[in-house]
Structure 1
Amino acid sequence: MTGSEASPSFRLAYVPGVTPTKWVRIWNERRPDVPLTLVAVSAAEAPGLLRDGGADAGFVRLPIDRTDLSAIPLYTETTVVVVPKDHLMAAVDEVSAEDLAEDIVLHPLDDTFDTLEWADRPGRAALERPATTADAVELVAAGVGLLVVPQSLARLHHRKDLTYRPVPGAPESRIALSWPEDRTTDLVEDFIGIVRGRTVNSSRGRPTPPQPRAKRADKSGAKGGDKGGARRKPAAGKSTGKSPRGASGGARGSAKRGKPGRRG
């Protein structure tokens, strides 16, 4: 690790569609002494924000340039197409990329569509690209075209007059936790542990404090040693209260072998 806990707070960036609530709650439980500040950022701007020190760590959409950023992939999202509720595609369970060939598929300028890494973009391009995903959703509601996005964004921009359907075989967006490689501080390590599900007592990334040794039993029997010694090794000639079958059998056998001698 490099760096130290010099910052009075931990700044966590997150891109649209990511819900960091669970991790923030755990952080507040484990590190109440360090306030966590959330920083909302677009997918395209997230890497630059981390490099410039605008956040200590952040949830980003892959791919990103990992030359100076570390990243831990967390999960992959289903890709869906957003359509009006009265659209023909709303009547089916899923939609293929080929099904979109004759429709206008909107391509927002905020680069959310680019994180899906299409080899061939589905559908027909619109005359103008909407500035944001939110603007594209408005155009879908107006019947101008359709929108292909990660499922979390479809949920984020939910409208009563719209729905979405999964697109099997389409590229999928991956969410990762990222941070500047040369600023892997103790606070960053703490947050990595939370995201990875480590327990509060985990020693990963932190030195383990020396633990006191357990006191050994007193062999002299000064403190309860008599009782312990009696349980471990009974005194000679003293019964333990147990009658092993082998012992009793041996006694009976000896008595039988002695009878012929007495008859003679």
Structure 2
Amino acid sequence: MTGSEDRPSFRLAYVPGVTPDKWARIWNERLPDVPLSLTQVPAAGADGVLLDGDADAGLVRLPVDRTRLSAIPLYTETTVVVIPKDHLVTAADEVTVEDLADEIVLHPLDDVLGWEERPPGRPAFERPATTADAVELVAAGIGVLLMPLSLARLHHRKDLTYRTVTDAPQSGVALSWPEDAHTDRVEDFIGIVRGRTVNSTRGRQPDPAPAGRKPAAGKQQTGKQQSGKQQTGGARRGGGTPRKKSGSGGGRGKPRRR
């Protein structure tokens, strides 16, 4: 592995909507001597933060630049449409993209859903600069907004609500780091997000057995073979295949017919 294991802390970047609290708590319990530094970064700038060396790893939104970054997908989020509480869409528990065909659907410049062309519905006159700006426009009755559930919760307002959109694109969240900086500390954090125990080998190969010592499985097989040899030797010492006992040998034989 390469990288700088000598750093006094592990720097973790994360994008809006992602909550690293649980993993941070486990890190602090397992590695109290290595402080975890958390930094929130824009979703669009996460790749650059990692490639520039400003963070050791990041909780980012897919896709990432897989030519230079490694990534472990963690989960995929539900997509929802954010609407005013008195909107007609609130009559349903969930909707489809087609249900929004007549709506003005806002498309912020920092959108993370990765629409192939553009969102459904009618486009707004211009694209809001940020998701936060788009939420303000939804509250003003200008249109509706599709986003991952975690972002809807992050931008929660009392006058807005949301409904699941069953057939919209979804956003995946991954743990990512530069390919040329897969350090032991990165491997420690991988173990945490994957739920490995504190005694795990962290995905490494077990240490080889000391010279002159055979693997345990080999010992068992050798023992069985030795046992078989002893049984065979015993049979040979006993004169080979035992002879049948005659009637006068103390065992009851079949009476002879006269």
Q: TM-score, normalised by structure 1?
A: 0.76
Q: 1:5 Cα shift?
A: 1.0
Q: Which residue of 2 aligns with 1:37?
A: 37
Q: Which residue of 2 aligns with 1:51?
A: 51
Q: Which residue of 2 aligns with 1:117?
A: 115
Q: Are the counterparts in 2 of residues 80 and 167 from structure 1 also a CA contact under 8 Å?
A: yes
1:49–1:4 CA distance, 2 compared to 1 (3 A): closer
- What CA deviation, in whole Å up to 9, does each residue of 1:86-119 have, x standing for no partner? 000011111110111111111111132xx34345
- Secondary structure at the counterpart of residue 75 of structure 1: strand
Cα separation, 2, equivalents of 1:201 and 1:119: 48
Q: Which residue of 2 aligns with 1:83?
A: 83
Q: 1:120 Cα shift?
A: 5.1
Q: Which residue of 1 aligns with 2:19?
A: 19
Q: 1:195 Cα shift?
A: 0.5
Q: Are the counterparts in 1 of residues 111 and 147 from structure 2 also a CA contact under 8 Å?
A: no
Cα separation, 2, equivalents of 1:76 and 1:117: 16
Paired amino acid for 1:17: G
Cα separation, 2, equivalents of 1:18 and 1:71: 16
Q: Are the counterparts in 2 of residues 50 and 179 from structure 1 also a CA contact under 8 Å?
A: yes
Cα separation, 2, equivalents of 1:28 and 1:14: 17
Q: Which residue of 1 aligns with 2:136?
A: 138
Q: Which residue of 1 aligns with 2:108?
A: 108
Cα separation, 1, equivalents of 2:6 and 2:207: 22
- Secondary structure at the counterpart of residue 134 of structure 1: helix
Q: Are the counterparts in 2 of residues 4 and 186 from structure 1 also a CA contact under 8 Å?
A: no
- What CA deviation, in whole Å up to 9, does each residue of 1:137-196 have, x standing for no partner? 111000011000011100111111000000011111100000000000110000000000
Q: Are the counterparts in 1 of residues 26 and 192 from structure 2 also a CA contact under 8 Å?
A: yes
Cα separation, 2, equivalents of 1:66 and 1:7: 25
* 1:172 alignment partner, one of 170, 173, 189: 170
Cα separation, 2, equivalents of 1:44 and 1:99: 29
Paired amino acid for 1:130: P
Q: TM-score, normalised by structure 2?
A: 0.78
Q: Which residue of 2 aligns with 1:246?
A: none
Cα separation, 2, equivalents of 1:145 and 1:118: 21
Identity of aligned residues (%): 74
Q: Are the counterparts in 2 of residues 95 and 165 from structure 1 also a CA contact under 8 Å?
A: yes
- What CA deviation, in whole Å up to 9, does each residue of 1:121-149 have, x standing for no partner? 20111111111111111110000110000
Q: Which residue of 2 aligns with 1:188?
A: 186
Cα separation, 1, equivalents of 2:85 and 2:174: 32
Cα separation, 1, equivalents of 2:40 and 2:200: 30
CA RMSD of aligned residues (A): 2.0
Paired amino acid for 1:194: I
Paired amino acid for 1:29: E
- What CA deviation, in whole Å up to 9, does each residue of 1:204-263 have, x standing for no partner? 24576799xxxxxxxxxxxxxxxxxxxxxxxxxxxxxxxxxxxxxxxxxxxxxxxxxxxx
Q: Which residue of 2 aligns with 1:236?
A: none
Paired amino acid for 2:45: E
- Secondary structure at the counterpart of residue 44 of structure 1: helix
Q: Are the counterparts in 1 of residues 77 and 148 from structure 2 also a CA contact under 8 Å?
A: yes
Q: Are the counterparts in 2 of residues 118 and 171 from structure 1 also a CA contact under 8 Å?
A: no
Paired amino acid for 1:68: R
Paired amino acid for 2:129: A
Cα separation, 2, equivalents of 1:120 and 1:36: 39
Cα separation, 2, equivalents of 1:190 and 1:93: 41
Paired amino acid for 1:89: V
1:209–1:34 CA distance, 2 compared to 1 (3 A): farther
* 2:126 alignment partner, one of 125, 128, 134: 128
Structure 1 unmatched runs, 5+ = 212-264
